[in-house]
Amino acid sequence: MTSGTELRRRGIARLAREGWTGGRSVWETDAEGREVAVDGVTVTEEPAPGDIARVLDLPAGAPVCVRSRRYLLDGGPVLLAVSRLPAELVRGTAVTRPDSGPGGIYARLAELGVEPTRFREEVRSRMPSREESERLALGAGTPVMLVRRTACTPEGRAVEVNDMDSAAYVLEYDFGA
């Protein structure tokens, strides 16, 4: 992977409240002024898989709003993302539209009174499915990094689970001792 296809993911800075409450996309922090586009956006309502239902504290099979999209950086695909939110919470709101508006779904959740204030991320690597390889234009044998982010309210309620797959991520952490 060349530096032109690398996507520096500053996990802490990208989720800063000031960005999304100011109308900025979480993803713009990673792009560093490069051309960002989103395509293939779909929004559906589906039964929650068991692991997602557990995290969102829903009964197995409860409906969730599923937002799927692909991110492009400088015209090339670099990330697939699927967010799942309790359908009962977001049904009929801007969260269910392909373009949720300035600041994205976190700004919309704040408007609904369930502003995410804590985030937890788990990072794993794995081999992509055939479909993922095609959608990300990956060569044979190229693994992806899976980042699963859970967004929670101040009370600890999980309001979103977001699975992000990328072969371009370079994880960067900058924090004091």
pTM (predicted TM-score) = 0.85
User: What's the pLDDT at 169?
Assistant: 83
Strands 76-86 vs 63-73: parallel, antiparallel or unpaired:
antiparallel
- Please tell me what DSSP assigns to residue 48: P
CB 131 within 8 A of CB 73: no
User: What's the pLDDT at 3?
Assistant: 41
User: What's the pLDDT at 1?
Assistant: 43
- Please tell me what DSSP assigns to residue 26: T
Q: Rounded to a whole number, what is the distance in angstroms from the first to the last CA of the chain?
A: 31
pLDDT digits (tens, 9 = 90+) for 7-43: 766 666 555 556 455 555 666 666 667 888 899 999 9
Under-70 pLDDT residues of the chain:
1-4, 8-32
- CA 40 to CA 163: how far, in whole Å? 16
Longest dimension (CA), the chain: 45
Q: Which H helix or E strand runs over 87? A: helix 87-90
Closest CA to 159 of 89, 104, 91, 95: 89
User: What's the pLDDT at 24?
Assistant: 55
